[in-house]
Structure 1
Amino acid sequence: MASNDRQAREERARLRTYQARQEVHAGKQRRRSRDNLIAVLALVVVLALAVGAQLFFFSGGPGAPEPTASETPSPTEAAGENDGEVPSPDLAEGRTWTGTLTLNDIPLGVELDGAAAPQAVSSEISLIQSGFYDGVACHRLTKDTIWVLQCGDPDGDGSGGPGYSYGPIENAPADGVYPAGTIAMARVPNDANSQGSQFFIVYEDTTLPADSAGGYTVIGTVTSGLDELRAGITDAGAEGGVSDGAPAVPTTITGFTIE
């Protein structure tokens, strides 16, 4: 009888041990499932925040995208619509305009082709005649693969303009080659209707491949003073020796006349 009681007690003890082990195992399973759920939820939150940040960065945020003479510049169709009060293309009169663009007291003779780029040249004539460019800095200089000096932003950081933007892209070279002396309008990549007041001067032959919007509107040429521009400004490169940045020689438009 005593033997049977002992066996029964041992059986009950083994059962309790087994049940305890099962409960421990079940607890581990529950914690593992909970941890997996938390990990999945955390991943979903991280992905949602990342997507939201990208949407904010690319579709909004402070300021405007910088108009650039980037490595992505040629159809002439405008993809969107003009914004603001854009000067009439009739202002260019379909003729060649001559004048002087002065940078740091270095005079550059210029010609603007109102027949080849009537909308862009009309905008430039309007801005020049209103004194818009007086005292405005040239904020960007590139070298090594693209050789341009970019000017015309009243904010001085690449985000400013005249209060309007326009297209279409006009007179862009089909081969993407912009010879030294070319004057062309800067714009936001892949946006044909983002031209404004910013323009760039090509100081060495440069190739700018077309992007989805096309090339860059060529408004004219520098007819004299390019060597002086190189010696006085562009040969010094950009600040800090980088290939794309603010000119090492601070550069300002000290005069711009046209007739």
Structure 2
Amino acid sequence: MPSSKREREYERRRYEKWQQRQATKRAHRRRLQVVAGGVVAVLVLGTGVAAALLVTGGDDAPAQADPAPTAAASTPAARTGNGGEVPDASLAEDRTWTGTITTDQGDVGIELDGRAAPQAVASFVTLAQEGYFDGTGCHRLTTSGIYVLQCGDPTGTGTGGPGYAFGPVENAPDDDVYPAGTIAMARQSGDGESQGSQFFLVYEDSTIPSDQAGGYTVFGRITSGLDVVQAVADAGVTGGASDGAPATPVTIEGVETQ
């Protein structure tokens, strides 16, 4: 976090200027759309978990039984974040963010590392501040092989995203081990440029093998409330499977960051 009042003020002004630039871009784009009389169809790339846990659906999505975080084929976005544009990584560079994911099952305290994963943190923080995650469900739980709860899809199907995708992978562990409490980005299998809004919470140490895209972006950690995620995992997957919708539904009521 900025270490002085002057630095905090600088960060605030920089963020406000960034917001103004984005608002100008969006207004300009809307004017062009009105003149042309067109409708822009925003396509979204899904996201993934160790070979398929963080997968977004679609015909090309890995089967849910596949134990890794991968994303699926592009599908129309149900909710667009940041006007469909990738947030500027400079928003999150060189600072640590703290916050809370408030769910109907309990609060999860988080810390986000903008130094190690500036693009992922910039995206997450921007979406959180827009209320993008509000009212969304955590649609996937894996209880065998890897141990993660996947969230961040506004459609609840594994196919949704913010209308943009980014990459490459940042801050992936060299040993493929994701300790309990890790927060990481889902993406499409083999495609490090397919990160969007979906993310996964690791509730037990998990080894997730890297593919050609090189692991999964670790952008934060759980600082409190890991027991909330563990309780959801303990209740298992709907139908008694080891990979699928959690038997205890989880809805994100809001995400605060600072």
> Does residue 149 of the first structure (1) align with residue 129 of the second (2)?
no
User: SS at 2:144's partner residue?
Assistant: coil
User: SS at 1:248's partner residue?
Assistant: coil
Task: Give 1 or 2 for the bigger CA radius of gyration.
Answer: 1
The one-letter amino acid of 2:49's match is A
Q: Which residue of 2 aligns with 1:243?
A: 242
> Does residue 160 of the first structure (1) align with residue 160 of the second (2)?
yes
Pairwise CA distance, 1:250: 0.9
Sort the Cα spacing of 1:100 and 1:127 in 2 relative to 1 into closer, same or farther, 3 A.
same
RMSD: 1.5
Within 1, Cα distance between the matches of 2:112 and 2:128?
12
Q: Residues 170-219 of structure 1: CA distance to partner in whole angstroms, max 9, x if unpaired?
A: 00001000000000000000001000000000000000000011100001
Sort the Cα spacing of 1:105 and 1:236 in 2 relative to 1 into closer, same or farther, 3 A.
closer
User: SS at 1:123's partner residue?
Assistant: helix
Within 2, Cα distance between the matches of 1:105 and 1:240?
20
User: SS at 2:139's partner residue?
Assistant: strand
Pairwise CA distance, 1:66: 4.9
Q: Which residue of 2 aligns with 1:253?
A: 252
Structure 2 residues without counterparts, runs of 5 or longer: 1-42, 52-67, 70-83
User: SS at 1:147's partner residue?
Assistant: strand
Confirm or deny: 8 A CA contact 2:47 2:197 kept in the other structure: no
User: SS at 1:125's partner residue?
Assistant: helix
Within 2, Cα distance between the matches of 1:65 and 1:197?
10
Q: Which residue of 2 aligns with 1:203?
A: 203
Q: Which residue of 2 aligns with 1:70?
A: 50
Pairwise CA distance, 1:116: 0.2
Map 1:1-259; keep pairs closer than 5 Å.
66-71=46-51, 85-231=85-231, 233-259=232-258
Pairwise CA distance, 1:234: 1.4
Within 2, Cα distance between the matches of 1:250 and 1:122?
28
Segments ≥4 residues shifted beyond 4 Å: 63-66
Taking structure 1 as the reference length, the TM-score comes to: 0.69
Within 1, Cα distance between the matches of 2:247 and 2:207?
23
Within 1, Cα distance between the matches of 2:204 and 2:170?
22
Structure 1 residues without counterparts, runs of 5 or longer: 1-62, 74-83
If each structure's helix is expressed as a fraction of its own residues, which one has the higher value? Answer: 1
Sort the Cα spacing of 1:228 and 1:85 in 2 relative to 1 into closer, same or farther, 3 A.
closer
Within 1, Cα distance between the matches of 2:165 and 2:229?
29
Within 2, Cα distance between the matches of 1:96 and 1:64?
28
Pairwise CA distance, 1:255: 1.8
Sort the Cα spacing of 1:126 and 1:66 in 2 relative to 1 into closer, same or farther, 3 A.
closer
User: SS at 2:146's partner residue?
Assistant: coil
Q: Which residue of 1 aligns with 2:35?
A: none
Within 2, Cα distance between the matches of 1:214 and 1:182?
17
Pairwise CA distance, 1:97: 0.2
State the identity as a percent.
61
The one-letter amino acid of 2:127's match is L
